[in-house]
Amino acid sequence: MSEETNPQNNEPTYLQVFSSGTGKQLNSNALEGAEPRFELEKIAVQCSTYAEGHHFHWIPIFRYSEPRLKIKARWLEEDKFEIITGSHTVIWRHHDPERLKAALAQAKPEDIKRTQGRPWIFIETGNGAYAFNCADEEMVPCVTPTESK
């Protein structure tokens, strides 16, 4: 059940607004003029890959990003992050580890979540959430826009 169809949920609802330039999905607080607790720079890694561990396409974000579970996440090395959900620990990878590390460093612990059943991390900012499409195994290499033509 999504937040939009759950009348008992008092949390902000996520809107069908996703910026591929910032990797952020806005929530209903943005409509009310809420200021974000932090902002990340626009996505710097030049990659046009939509595979696991790379970029999101907006359709899966809107269809499959609920429910979200609180997690603990920390950078290990290179592109690897340790993700702890309850007593379960996994290693996920992301093609832009510096951006994910920056978001984790600025977030409140309770604002770091994952999608149940998918290696997706969402870091809430007050007016939305930065989305990170992670991989739970080796990633395909980044493809730059000039390579994909």
Asked, for residue 56, whether it belongs to a domain, the answer is yes
- pLDDT, tens digit (0-9, with 9 covering 90-100), for 54-95: 988 888 888 888 899 999 999 999 999 999 999 999 999 999
Asked, for residue 65, whether it belongs to a domain, the answer is yes
Asked, for residue 139, whether it belongs to a domain, the answer is no
Task: Give the range of the structural domain holding residue 91, as residue numbers without chain letter.
Answer: 3-133
Asked, for residue 146, whether it belongs to a domain, the answer is no
- pLDDT, tens digit (0-9, with 9 covering 90-100), for 42-64: 876 688 899 999 988 888 888 88
Render 8-68 in DSSP notation, one character per residue: T--SPPEEEEEETTTTEEEEHHHHTTPPPS--PPPP-S-----STTSPPPHHHHHHH--SE
Whole-prediction pTM: 0.85
Asked, for residue 149, whether it belongs to a domain, the answer is no
